[in-house]
Amino acid sequence: MAGVAACGSVSSIKAVWETRIRRNREELEEQRRRTVGGGATGRLGVSVWEDRAALARLKQKLQTEDGRLILRIEQEEWKSLPGCLVQLSQVQEWQIHRTGLLKIPHFISSFQNLLVLDLSRNGVTEIPKQIGKLTRLRELLLSYNRIQFVPEELSGCESLERLELAMNRDLSKLPNQLMTLTKLHHLDLSMNNFSIFPECVVALPALQWLDMGGNCLQHLPEDIHRMQKLHTLWLQRNELERLPENITRMDSLDTLVLSSNQLRDIPPLMEGMSKLRFVNFRDNPLTLDVTLPSRMVEDDEDDREMFGREFMHMYIQESRKRAYAVLNMHCVNQTSDESSD
């Protein structure tokens, strides 16, 4: 009987502990559910609070200039832009500089009133396709970033007048669809990696100002004269060895900078470019050594730059003189040979 009692006692104790363990597990599970539920609610509350704080901070960055609402952030750390920014969709201009911004948010398409998007001097690597929905955008300024690719959707920005993509280093191509930007008159592609002059650039009907200095261009397009409205062309620090003859048909061109290339000669037909006021051929391995008169040589570097047009004309004249001298010598030698016969 004692053994039976002991056995019954052990069974009873075991049942008690199993019950306690089960209840403890249930309590822990319930506590876990409450913690998880409360945590989600807590995080939601924190998220709402963070959005409100971010929105309040963004509102402090709003300024009104000339009747235009501007979001201006400079020299602060904003590597990303919060989604609550869409609540400020009435903003007409973004000026976000030196913030370390890494990405243009896809919700940029919500800013239908945007006229100027200036994100120069950041770390932006990509232009989102959604940007093509900004049909009122006039200026897109993305110089000094890390952009390697321009999407064809940018052609949807039909009001675009100014596009700056200088110093993105690895940028080397533009989509042909950009030729449909009929209002684009200012284009800066300097200090990139273009080895071929983009076809779409030649086809831009309203283009007036173009900077492609500091690239790897070896040739200019033979139909460069199609840019009839272009008045300023910067091509310094490239690898150009010659100029196409049709450059003389660019009737609106008044500024042409060709310093630090590989040009061997100046086309004689350029003498007839009457509207050309400022031209620069410095630091090219030109065949002829032409020196300006001493009255034109000044100590000030900027003053010497102003005589590029005079240098061009003197070079062409000297080139003609030497050509005539060679021709005359040939004629004399030919006459002498005939006389001896």
58-81 pLDDT, tens digit per residue, is 999 999 999 999 999 999 999 999
Gyration radius from the chain CA atoms: 35
DSSP output for 216-240:
------TTGGG-TT--EEE--SS--
Q: Quick one: which of 234, 222, 132 has its CA closest to 177?
A: 132
Rounded to whole angstroms, how far apart are CA atoms 322 and 329?
10
pLDDT at 296 over 90: no
pLDDT at 112 over 90: yes
Q: How many domains does the chain have?
A: 1
CA quadruple 249, 252, 258, 261: dihedral positive or negative? Answer: negative
Q: Are 195 and 170 in contact (CB under 8 A)?
A: no
Written as six digits, the tokens of 48 are 């709402």
Residue 189: pLDDT band (50, 70, 90) is: very high
Rounded to whole angstroms, how far apart are CA atoms 163 and 120?
11
Q: Are 181 and 203 in contact (CB under 8 A)?
A: no
Q: Is 73 helix (H, G, I), strand (E, B) or coil?
A: strand
Return the CATH number at 131.
Answer: 3.80.10.10
Rounded to whole angstroms, how far apart are CA atoms 171 and 187?
14
Written as six digits, the tokens of 331 are 């004629």
Rounded to whole angstroms, how far apart are CA atoms 124 and 71?
18
Largest CA distance in the chain: 156
Range of the domain at 80: 57-287
H or E segment to which residue 17 belongs: helix 2-59
Residue 28 counted as domain residue? no
46-62 pLDDT, tens digit per residue, is 577 888 888 999 999 99
Give the per-residue pLDDT at 313.
Answer: 92
Residue 327 counted as domain residue? no
Buried b (16+ CB within 10 A) or exposed e, 201-210: bbbbeebebb
Exposed (0-12), middle (13-18) or buried (19+): which is 29, by Cβ within 10 Å?
A: exposed
Residue 32 counted as domain residue? no
Residue 49 counted as domain residue? no
Q: Are 97 and 121 in contact (CB under 8 A)?
A: yes
Give the per-residue pLDDT at 1.
Answer: 44
126-178 pLDDT, tens digit per residue, is 999 999 999 999 999 999 999 999 999 999 999 999 999 999 999 999 999 99
25-53 pLDDT, tens digit per residue, is 666 666 555 544 444 444 444 577 888 88
Residue 310 counted as domain residue? no
Residue 6: pLDDT band (50, 70, 90) is: very low
* Better pLDDT: 6 or 114: 114
Q: Are 147 and 125 in contact (CB under 8 A)?
A: yes
pLDDT at 277 over 70: yes
| Residues of the chain by 3-state class (helix, strand, coil), percent to 5 | 40, 10, 45
Residue 172 counted as domain residue? yes
Give the per-residue pLDDT at 307.
Answer: 82
pLDDT at 217 over 80: yes
Q: To the nearest 10°, report the CA torsion of 235, 236, 238, 239.
A: 90
Q: Is 86 helix (H, G, I), strand (E, B) or coil?
A: helix
Give the per-residue pLDDT at 20.
Answer: 65
314-334 pLDDT, tens digit per residue, is 999 998 887 665 556 655 455
Residue 295: pLDDT band (50, 70, 90) is: low
What does DSSP say about strands 68-74 and 62-65: parallel, antiparallel, or unpaired?
antiparallel
Residue 271 counted as domain residue? yes
211 φ, ψ to 5°? -120, 115
**Residue at token pair 């000030």:** 300
Residue 2 counted as domain residue? no
Residues contacting residue 192 through CB under 8 Å, at least 6 positions apart: 165, 166, 167, 168, 169, 170, 171, 172, 214, 215
Give the pLDDT mean for 234-260.
Answer: 97
Mean per-residue pLDDT over the chain, rounded: 86
